[in-house]
Amino acid sequence: MTPPQKGRIIDQAMQMFVSQGIKSVRMDDIAQQLGVSKRTLYEMFGDKEGLLYLAMERYSERNRQRWNELTADAHDVLEAMFMVLGEVMDNAEVSRRMMDNLRKFYPAVHDKLMREGMVKNRTSLRSMLEQGIEAGLFVNNFNIDLSISVLYYTASAIVTRRELMLPDGMSEREAFVQIISNFFRGISTAKGLQLIDDNLKRYKLSKTGNKLNLDR
């Protein structure tokens, strides 16, 4: 089977895992949907776990592509970061469900994806923070590695709902926006502070929905 055909199988499996659930989708279902034999799938991917890993890796790649497209027209790195963080929250429920199922039923795949995702996300965060310093939006005397850890683990905690002790009446999204905006204020220059305020006006926390609304 050619690489494009293999890619088509991975794409279809990814869509099925996301829409139907990781546990419920069988190799028979994928084979039937694609019109290929189950034997072909096992020869190409070894087992469901092998195909699942590649499908979830593709899902993560698509997310990063969407973030890049989303931030292409950002006016500055702070706006880009707010865009990405908002996108993370908009897709938090789907991501949470899939990661919970992976952790429960396919822990080896879950752990591998988490390790790889951490490396890629930390690299992206470092690049954005360094851009902010170069643009005069962030001060140059803060610990970048520590800041990356704060951002990464805050986002992870909100998405996975782990160890959250929020005040009564405060939503996860509202907590996320306040924590992240306060973090950025702590490392920003006067120029950066103004842009944070501008972006917070654009990205308003919806009290009735689950989106950050963009006012332009």
Comparing 165 with 198, the larger pLDDT belongs to 198
Torsion sign, CA atoms 161, 165, 170, 173:
negative
How many structural domains comprise the chain? 2
Specify whether 142 is located in the same domain as 178: yes
Question: Looking at the predicted structure, is the pLDDT value of residue 207 above 50?
Answer: no
User: At which of 58, 81, 105 does a domain end?
Assistant: 58
* Residue 78 C-beta-side C-alpha neighbours within 13 Å: 28
pLDDT tens across 13-37, in order?
Answer: 999 999 999 999 999 999 999 999 9
- Would you state the pLDDT for residue 213? 44
Question: Looking at the predicted structure, is the pLDDT value of residue 216 above 50?
Answer: no
pLDDT tens across 150-174, in order?
Answer: 888 877 776 666 656 778 888 777 8
Contact in structure between 199 and 177 (CB atoms under 8 Å): no
Specify whether 14 is located in the same domain as 101: no
In a domain, 11, yes or no: yes
- Would you state the pLDDT for residue 214? 41
Specify whether 86 is located in the same domain as 165: yes
Strands, DSSP E only, in the chain? 203-205, 212-214
CATH number for the domain including 175?
1.10.357
Question: Looking at the predicted structure, is the pLDDT value of residue 215 above 60?
Answer: no
Question: Looking at the predicted structure, is the pLDDT value of residue 210 above 60?
Answer: no
Contact in structure between 22 and 106 (CB atoms under 8 Å): yes
- Would you state the pLDDT for residue 130? 96
Comparing 135 with 167, the larger pLDDT belongs to 135
pLDDT tens across 65-108, in order?
Answer: 999 998 998 999 999 988 888 888 788 888 888 989 999 999 99
Terminal alpha carbon distance of the chain: 48
Please give the distance of CA 89 from its chain centroid, rounded to a whole number: 8
Specify whether 50 is located in the same domain as 150: no
Helix 144-160 × helix 77-90 angle, to 10° = 30
- Would you state the pLDDT for residue 162? 60
- Would you state the pLDDT for residue 143? 95
CATH number for the domain including 52?
1.10.10.60
In a domain, 10, yes or no: yes
Read off the pLDDT band of 212 (50, 70, 90): very low
In a domain, 66, yes or no: no
In a domain, 145, yes or no: yes
Tell me what the pLDDT averaged over the chain comes to: 86
Look up tokens 């006067």; give the residue.
190
Specify whether 22 is located in the same domain as 78: no
Q: Bridge-partner residues for 61, per DSSP?
A: none
Q: SS3 helix, strand, coil % of the chain, rounded to 5?
A: 75, 5, 20
Distance CA 88, CA 3 (A): 30
* Least reliable range by pLDDT among 4-18, 36-50, 96-110, 172-186: 172-186
pLDDT tens across 46-74, in order?
Answer: 999 999 999 999 999 999 999 999 899 89
Look up tokens 């593709």; give the residue.
58
- Domain limits for position 17: 1-58
- Would you state the pLDDT for residue 208? 34
